[in-house]
Structure 1
Amino acid sequence: MKILIDIGHPAHVHLFKHFAWQMQNKGHEIFFTCREKEFEIYLLRKYGFKFKSFGKKYVSTLGKLLGLIEFDIKEIISGIKFKPDIFLSHGSIYAAHAAFLLRKPHIALEDTGNWEQVRLYLPFTEVILTSDVFPIDYGKNKQIRYMGHHELTYLHPNYFQKDESFFKMLNIAKNEKFVLLRLVAWNATHDIGQKGISKNSLREIIKLLERKYRVFISTESNLNENFKKYKISFPPDRMHQALYYADLFIGEGTTMSMEAAILGTPSIYVNSLQYSNVKDMEKYGLIYNFKSTEGLLNKIKEIMSDENIKLEWQKRRERMLKDKIDVTAFLVWFVENYPESARIMREEPEYQYRFK
């Protein structure tokens, strides 16, 4: 089987990497397409995948409209050359359009439900795989729900391995406590009108955290001069080690907030955008969810006062994992046995229990 996977974000490389490795070990051929946003190229090369880059993403509204046409054409050309049996993506408009024109199935994974994207790929997609807590209904003929989250495809205990050499790279002692803050660029289409941590709030947060922790900031955009000394750039393939060993994570981005929680690190999500996956982690007590910075400092003080908080979070993580499946194992089975797998899941959704 030949599978073309379209990547729209660095996190999507992590989403599909174990799936791709397992499928390659089974004799299937995998090919990635991508645009350059942040670290996609680095990760695809690091993991040894065959890929085609379509160039840099457009930021302006007009640019995104032009990019829709340009990247559609490039995806179609890649499909013609590679001749995939299936297109797979995290809700890629380009993969959906190319699959439709080349008369191949497109399987999409979805966890945000951003309508400005979904409406452009939904009509051209055979199956949308979503978490069982995902609130939007795309119809029983399109949507299949599974018990898990995207981040479990690479952070499930079957795949993630901690590596203490991380501390040497960071040049800190193993017993030195540190906090990781993640600030986003706010230039995605779904970010319009949204907000997270203001500069004034960031200043107060850092001042408080420095009483107990070493503070590191990871960001997609330029920092104010006052904060530049905190900025750090982890190798993208090592970021999950940082999240695992951190004593606390505070971030505006959904993905890294989820990753920290799933790894058992106290996670604070600050964003006016609210997603079902974050709320699910909140249910297990793994994420503190803030629409604004109101009350944030008090929550940080509460966390700082608990010397056993990491141990408690690991217990909460174990409770969460008991309710979830190995999403990569499920995805390998689903794609390898498609379309029969879709029929089985629609008629017998409890079939997924075997992937726990």
Structure 2
Amino acid sequence: MNILIDLGHPAHVHLYKNFYFEAKERGHNIFVTVKEIPSAIRLLDAYGIKYIVIGKKGKTKIGKFIKQIWFDLRTIWIVIRYRIDIGLGSSITTTHVSLVTAMKSIIFDDDDDDVQPLFVKFAHPFATELLSPDALRGNRGRVDTIFYPAYHEIAYLHPSRFNPDPGILDRAGIKKGDPYFILRFNQFLAHHDYNVDGLTLQQKEKLINVLLPHGRVFVTTESESDHVFDKYRIKIDSTEIHSFIYYAKLFLGDSQTMSSEASVLGTPSIRCNSLVGRISSLNEQEKKYGLCFGFKPEDLENMLSKIIELLANQNLREEWEVKRDNMLKDKFDLSGFMLWFVENYPASKEYRNDRTIFKQKEITE
């Protein structure tokens, strides 16, 4: 089978990497397209994944629209040339191309409809199949959406897929047992990030000052205005970030994806942005499993109080391991499901009505 994976975000590299390698091992021809995103390309190079760059993203709404036309045309050419059977991804491009070629598009989307109205309008109606986490039931307009028990982050951080490397501590200059904190600050430039607010520079400084007496602080940021935090910047390979999150005392910031990654890894996480309360997967992690906490920027003082409360908990790691185990009991290995779904398509779409047709052992053995 000829399969195309289209990547539009660095997190997509992690999401589909296990599918990529396992599908190749099983004899499928895999082609990867990616926007010109330096962080995504660095990850692809690090993992040894071959790719085709299809262009830069636009920065304005009009720019994004014009670029989307180019992405569609470039990908149509690739699909025709390599006779692609199935397009896998989380992008608008894949859905558009499936409309005018023989390729079927299988889209994995974990964002709520009201959070990403443009993607809902320009991608959902055209996807051959749309798949989303169970947590989004009731918040998805497309009635034939196929729901599954997992988060996107489980595709690469499930215990069967990921083992933390304790050597990261030495490489980061940290002694075993010494507490440290990871802070992630977003730039909010994606199509679904319009009118989304994160932490201000002053709030970031206040957060760091609260944490410093309790351990080392490491910062990863997209914002150019955050150069004042250069002395705290994480200096590790990008492929090691998940091991670094695993051993951290707390993860904090305004990132959705990395907050969820921390939850799946069993590291307490606190996020602060104006989307708090609107992301179903994170709401489930917070309300059902108690793995994370969300605060809006205007609620900073309550967030700082929660941080102090967590730091005072002497059994924090042990409690979060139990919470993580409880969450994982309700979820499955998403990468294995992806491979099964694609290999058995179109019969696999009956999973919508009968979940017993997917048997994990058939993929993992």
TM range (shorter): over 0.9
- Identity, % of aligned pairs? 38
Q: What is the SS of the residue equivalent to 2:52? A: strand
Residue of structure 2 in register with 1:112 after alignment:
111
What RMSD over aligned residues (CA atoms) do the two structures have, in Å?
A: 1.6
1:346 aligned onto 2:331: no
Shift of 1:294: 4.2
Residue of structure 1 in register with 2:291 after alignment:
286
1:305 aligned onto 2:343: no
What does the per-residue CA deviation read over 1:217-262, in whole Å, with 9 as the maximum and x for residues that have no partner? Answer: 1001224454222122432211111111111000211110000010
Match runs of 1:166-181 below 5 Å: 166-181=168-183
What does the per-residue CA deviation read over 1:258-291, in whole Å, with 9 as the maximum and x for residues that have no partner? Answer: 0001000000011111300101110201011112
Long gaps (5+) in structure 1: none
Cα distance in 2, alignment partners of residues 210 and 68 from structure 1: 44
Residue of structure 2 in register with 1:277 after alignment:
281
Shift of 1:99: 1.8
Cα distance in 2, alignment partners of residues 166 and 56 from structure 1: 33
Amino acid at match of 2:133: S
Cα distance in 2, alignment partners of residues 174 and 244 from structure 1: 13
Q: Point out 4+ residue stretches in structure 1 off by more than 4 angstroms.
A: 352-356
Equivalent residues of 1:9, 1:38 under 8 A apart: no
Residue of structure 1 in register with 2:43 after alignment:
43
Please point out which of 183, 186, 211 is paired with 1:184: 186
Shift of 1:352: 4.3
Equivalent residues of 2:259, 2:270 under 8 A apart: yes
Cα distance in 1, alignment partners of residues 140 and 66 from structure 2: 30
What does the per-residue CA deviation read over 1:157-209, in whole Å, with 9 as the maximum and x for residues that have no partner? Answer: 00001111111221221222100000001212222222121222212111110
1:196 aligned onto 2:198: yes
Cα distance in 2, alignment partners of residues 16 and 240 from structure 1: 16
Cα distance in 2, alignment partners of residues 210 and 125 from structure 1: 47
Deviates most, 118-127 or 331-340? 118-127
Residue of structure 1 in register with 2:246 after alignment:
244
* TM-score, normalised relative to structure 2: 0.93
Cα distance in 1, alignment partners of residues 332 and 31 from structure 2: 26
Relative distance call for 1:147 and 1:225 in structure 2 (3 A) is closer
Equivalent residues of 2:147, 2:352 under 8 A apart: no
Cα distance in 2, alignment partners of residues 61 and 346 from structure 1: 35
Q: What is the SS of the residue equivalent to 1:80? A: helix
1:330 aligned onto 2:334: no
Relative distance call for 1:151 and 1:305 in structure 2 (3 A) is same
Aligned residues: 353
Equivalent residues of 2:184, 2:220 under 8 A apart: yes
Please point out which of 164, 167, 171 is paired with 2:166: 164
Q: What is the SS of the residue equivalent to 2:198? A: coil
Cα distance in 1, alignment partners of residues 356 and 117 from structure 2: 29
Residue of structure 1 in register with 2:61 after alignment:
61
Equivalent residues of 2:79, 2:103 under 8 A apart: no
Q: What is the SS of the residue equivalent to 2:214? A: coil
Q: What is the SS of the residue equivalent to 1:50? A: coil
Cα distance in 2, alignment partners of residues 138 and 103 from structure 1: 26
Residue of structure 2 in register with 1:136 after alignment:
139
Shift of 1:349: 2.7
Q: What is the SS of the residue equivalent to 2:106? A: strand
Residue of structure 2 in register with 1:9 after alignment:
9
Cα distance in 1, alignment partners of residues 352 and 26 from structure 2: 26
Cα distance in 1, alignment partners of residues 244 and 345 from structure 2: 37
Shift of 1:347: 2.8
Cα distance in 2, alignment partners of residues 225 and 178 from structure 1: 20
Equivalent residues of 1:325, 1:352 under 8 A apart: no
* TM-score, normalised relative to structure 1: 0.95
1:22 aligned onto 2:28: no
Shift of 1:14: 0.5
Cα distance in 1, alignment partners of residues 35 and 187 from structure 2: 17
Residue of structure 2 in register with 1:266 after alignment:
268
What does the per-residue CA deviation read over 1:99-154, in whole Å, with 9 as the maximum and x for residues that have no partner? Answer: 2211221000001131211211122211111011114234443x100011110000
